[in-house]
Chain A
Amino acid sequence: MNPSSSGRPSLGGEALLSLGMVLLGAFVVWQGSLVKAAASYSGIGPGLFPGLIGSGLSLIGLVLGWEALNGGWRAMPDDETTHQDADWRAFGLISLAVLLHMLLVGWAGFIIASALLYALIARGFGSTRPGRDLVIALLISVPVFFIFTRGLGLNLPAGWLTWGA
Chain B
Amino acid sequence: MDTFTALMSGFAVALSVQNLLLGALGVTLGTAIGVLPGVGPALTIALLLPATANFEPTGALILFAGIYYGAMYGGSTTSILLNTPGESATIITAMEGNLMAKRGRAGPALATAAIGSFVAGTLATIMLTIAAPAMVEVALKFGPAEYFAVMVLAFVTVSAVLGNSPARGLASLFFGLTLGLIGLDSQSGQPRLTLGIPELLDGIDIVIVAVGLFAVGETLYVATYLNRIADKIESVKGSVWMSKSDWARSWKPWLRGTAIGFPFGAMPAGGSEIPTFLSYAAEKKLTKHPEEFGKGAIEGVAGPEAANNAAAAGMLVPLLTLGLPTGATAAIMLSAFQQYGLQPGPLLFASEPQLVWGLIASLYVGNVLLLILNLPMVGLWVKLLSIPRPLLYAGILVFATLGAYGLRNSWFDLALLYGIGLVGFAMRRYDIPVAPTIVGLILGPLAETQMRRALAISQGDATVFLTQPISASVLAITAAVLIVPRLLKRRRLPEPTLLPTDAPWK
Residues in chain A within 8 A of chain B (CB atoms): 9, 13-14, 17, 21, 24-25, 28, 31-32, 35-39, 41-46, 48-50, 53-54, 56-57, 60-61, 63-64, 67, 73-81, 84, 86-88, 90-91, 93-95, 97-99, 101-103, 105-106, 110, 114, 117-119, 121-127, 133, 136-137, 140-141, 144, 148, 152-157
Contacts and interface: CB of A to CB of B under 8 A. Distances in A.
Contacts of B430: 9, 13-14, 17, 73, 76
Nearest to A74: B165
A95 B431 contact: no
A117 B395 CA distance: 9
Most chain B C-beta atoms within 10 Å of own C-beta, residue among A43, A94, A126, A152: A94
Interface in B176-217: 177-178, 181, 185, 187-188, 190-193, 216
A81 B216 CA distance: 19
**Main SS class of interface, B:** helix
A105 B411 contact: yes
A154 B220 contact: no
Contact of A94 (B219, B415, B417): B219
Q: Lowest 4 CB-CB distances: which A-B pairs, in order?
A: A42-B460, A125-B390, A127-B390, A122-B390
Most chain A C-beta atoms within 10 Å of own C-beta, residue among B181, B227, B398, B431: B398
A84 B165 contact: no
A75 B421 contact: no
A144 B229 contact: no
B164 A75 contact: yes
A105 B192 CA distance: 30
Interface of B: 50-52, 54, 164-165, 167-168, 170-171, 174-175, 177-178, 181, 185, 187-188, 190-193, 216, 219-220, 223-229, 388-391, 393-395, 397-399, 401-402, 405-406, 409, 411, 414-415, 417-418, 421, 426, 429-431, 444, 448, 451-452, 455-456, 459-460, 496-501
Given A14-B430, A122-B394, A64 B167 contact: yes
B390 A154 contact: no
A88 B390 contact: no
B171 A21 contact: yes
Nearest to B499: A77
Contacts of A154: 50-51, 406
B168 A73 contact: yes
A42 B128 CA distance: 42
A117 B497 contact: no
Contact of A63 (B167, B191, B501): B167
A155 B229 CA distance: 39
B451 A106 contact: no
Contacts of A98: 216, 397, 401, 414, 417-418, 421
A54 to B, nearest CB: 7
B457 to A, nearest CB: 10
A140 B188 CA distance: 45
Nearest to B397: A121
**Main SS class of interface, A:** helix
Contacts of A140: 395, 398
B393 A127 contact: no
A91 B223 contact: yes
Given A35-B185, A133-B394, A152 B167 contact: no
Contacts of B459: 42
B409 A106 contact: yes
Given A24-B178, A105-B401, A76 B227 contact: no
Contact of A118 (B164, B395, B448): B395
B145 to A, nearest CB: 13
Contacts of A14: 430
Nearest to A132: B391
Contacts of A97: 397
A17 B429 CA distance: 11
Given A102-B414, A105-B411, A153 B54 contact: yes
B394 to A, nearest CB: 4
A17 B423 CA distance: 10
A125 B394 contact: yes
A14 B429 CA distance: 10
B498 A124 contact: no
Given A74-B167, A133-B394, A91 B51 contact: no
Contact of B227 (A31, A50, A125): A125
A126 B460 contact: no
B300 to A, nearest CB: 20
Contacts of B456: 41-42, 44
Contacts of A86: 224-225
Given A102-B418, A106-B411, A121-B394, A37 B190 contact: yes
Contact of A144 (B219, B402, B417, B501): B402
A44 B185 CA distance: 13
